[in-house]
Amino acid sequence: MSDNKKQWLSTVYMKAKEKFSERKSLFATSSGSKVEPIYGPEDLHSWNYHEKLGFPGEYPFTRGIQPTMYRGRLWTMRQYAGFGDAAESNARFKYLISQGQTGISVAFDLPTQIGYDSDDEYVEGEVGKVGVAISSLADMEALTKDLPLDQVTTSMTINATGGMLLAMYAAAAKKQGVSLDKIGGTIQNDILKEYIARGTYIFPAKQSLRLLTDQMSWCFTNAPRFNTISISGYHMREAGCTAAQEVAFTIANAIQYSDAAIEAGLNFDEFASQFSFFWACHSVFFEEVAKFRAAKRIWAKIAKEKYGSQSPRAQMLRFHTQTGGATLTAQQVDNNVVRTAYQGLSAVLGGTQSLHTNSRDEALAIPTEESAQLALRTQQVLAYETGVADVIDPLAGSYYIESLTDSLEKEITSYLDKIADMGGSLAAIEQGYQQREIQESAYIMQKQIEEKSKIVVGVNDFINENDPPVKVFRVDPSIGKKRVQQMKELHKIRDLDSVTKNLNELKIAAEGTTNLMPFLISSFESYATIGEVCSVLRQVWGEYQENVTL
């Protein structure tokens, strides 16, 4: 019998390898780090349980941010939805809630994301296509009609115009008679990742950060159950970065936001207690579990050691997970159900607080009701039938998981140190650092697929020549005309003098340093539109111009 791992590898394993050669595979993490054939005590020779793990609900929160985790309450099952106009999306939300969904997650169309009204000729052809069109409080009222805003948490995937949508949501809650301290949810509001990976920015970075810190301050006082930012690695991962880069670039952004908030006079333990994070979950199963665990530990250390946090809540990395959209294939779409199930399992084993499981047909179109239901049922089977929610952090102590978690922590920290040396996330963005890293990682991944060193089932191997046709959801092609008519009706019934007065007051506030949230809410309560509000802010602040040196 072998005495140690090294001896076993050089004798028993090597002889077997000579007789039965290893299958063709990279045997590596997403960043290219080598994965050993076996892990044992030697890989954790200086590992300290209490330093690395501790207990759930206690620093460094590696094992979970709540003492009872899913034994106390399951993760929130939050399916992402939104298309067409507000009434159509409202009907989809009601359907999902009737099927057991416990939170709303709203997708907005491109015009809403970049601050244009549905009747603006600049956005013709894009209205209602990739999400719901929201141009005014009237639309937000229709979106939330008959939804109990004091009972349902709402996640809104919106960034450059995040403050505007939060203001509309608050105004809609007030009209429902719901106290603002009862509304709960999360607004994504992560503008830095827009400069890095997505491009739906509007204003220069300094002014965008001012908008964010205004919301942080306003929410702390008025809507403490609403998370003012969901710092997102998801879109950077979807653009092609590795698991380690996803966490590093996201936490670097969190540091930048924290520094901006502190400079604006806010207290770290107060605003960071409302932070949440948003991760992708891709298909390399154990790496994803380890990624979530490493991220929790790293943020806890940063909160405590860099910012002197005394609040356990501010040290907790609370996060939402969405399964990997970029991993879905248009070929053999039923395979996507399997991919999503395994990715959802990774997220749960990693300790997520809420989860969206992608639908089988999302590589082709907005999901049908049937495929959205199946995606939700995937979570429900995971929660109620598998037993994985019965034990907290069941993979803890695995030689491989703990070694991989430590390895990822080291790699992530190295990236964070490099970004800090460059002057922080914003300075690194201006130098194009994160953008170049993502492009390089995406290129390597695509090359691996083309060379078949990375197999994607149904795409570069195990191919069917004649896939059966897939029923896909089609957005009503007349939605653009419908929205133009709705906007005309809004302009007829609103008080233009009140709109003008509120927009003028917003402009004056934007020129100064006053918190903008009350002015945004008042503007939308008078039924000003998102296009009008953004036009005022564009006049005062200008627009962001990308300047990346490649």
Tell me the mean pLDDT in the region 202-225. Answer: 94
Residue type, 382: L
Provide the sign of the torsion angle of the four alpha carbons 216, 219, 224, 228, taken in this order.
Answer: negative
Tell me the mean pLDDT in the region 175-184. Answer: 94
Q: Spell out the SS3 assignment of 195-241.
A: HHHHCCCCCCHHHHHHHHHHHHHHHHHHCCCEECEEEECHHHHHHCC
What pLDDT score does 549 carry?
Answer: 54
Evaluate if residue 138 carries a pLDDT over 90. Answer: yes
Tell me the mean pLDDT in the region 336-365. Answer: 96
What pLDDT score does 190 carry?
Answer: 96
Evaluate if residue 469 carries a pLDDT over 90. Answer: no
Q: Which of 172-186, 458-472, 525-539 has the lowest mean pLDDT?
A: 458-472
Tell me the mean pLDDT in the region 94-123. Answer: 88
pTM of structure: 0.91
Confidence label for 367 from pLDDT (cuts 50, 70 and 90): confident
Tell me the mean pLDDT in the region 133-137. Answer: 96
Confidence label for 134 from pLDDT (cuts 50, 70 and 90): very high
Q: Spell out the SS3 assignment of 399-425.
A: HHHHHHHHHHHHHHHHHHHHHHHCCCH
Evaluate if residue 191 carries a pLDDT over 90. Answer: yes
CA-wise closest residue to 196 among 164, 240, 162: 240
Beta strands in 233-390 (DSSP E): 275-281, 319-323, 354-356
What pLDDT score does 303 carry?
Answer: 98
Tell me the mean pLDDT in the region 375-399. Answer: 97
Domain annotation for the chain: domains and CATH numbers = 49-451 (3.20.20.240)
Q: At what angle do helices 517-525 and 205-222 cross, to 10 degrees?
A: 80
Residue type, 352: T
What pLDDT score does 80 carry?
Answer: 62
Tell me the mean pLDDT in the region 188-212. Answer: 94
What separation in angstroms does the CA of 548 have from each of 20, 253, 433, 545?
50, 18, 9, 10
Confidence label for 79 from pLDDT (cuts 50, 70 and 90): low
Opening angle at CA 505, ends 503 and 510, nearest 5: 90
Confidence label for 496 from pLDDT (cuts 50, 70 and 90): very high
Answer yes or no: are the C-beta atoms of 339 and 327 closer than 8 Å. yes
The H-or-E segment that residue 47 falls in is none
Share of the chain above pLDDT 70, in %: 98
In this structure, the chain runs to a length of 550
Any idea what DSSP says for residue 23?
Answer: P
- 404: which residues sit within 8 A by CB, 6+ positions away? 29, 286, 287, 290
Tell me the mean pLDDT in the region 245-249. Answer: 98
Evaluate if residue 488 carries a pLDDT over 80. Answer: yes
- 119: which residues sit within 8 A by CB, 6+ positions away? 135, 483, 484, 487, 488
Confidence label for 83 from pLDDT (cuts 50, 70 and 90): low
Residue type, 144: T
**What tens digit of pLDDT does each residue of 145-179 get?**
988 899 888 889 899 999 999 999 999 999 999 99
What pLDDT score does 250 carry?
Answer: 98
**What tens digit of pLDDT does each residue of 261-285 get?**
999 999 999 999 989 999 999 999 9
Evaluate if residue 429 carries a pLDDT over 60. Answer: yes
Give me the chain's average pLDDT, please. 93
Place of tokens 């199930």: 341
- 151: which residues sit within 8 A by CB, 6+ positions away? none
Number of H helices, E strands in the chain: 23, 9
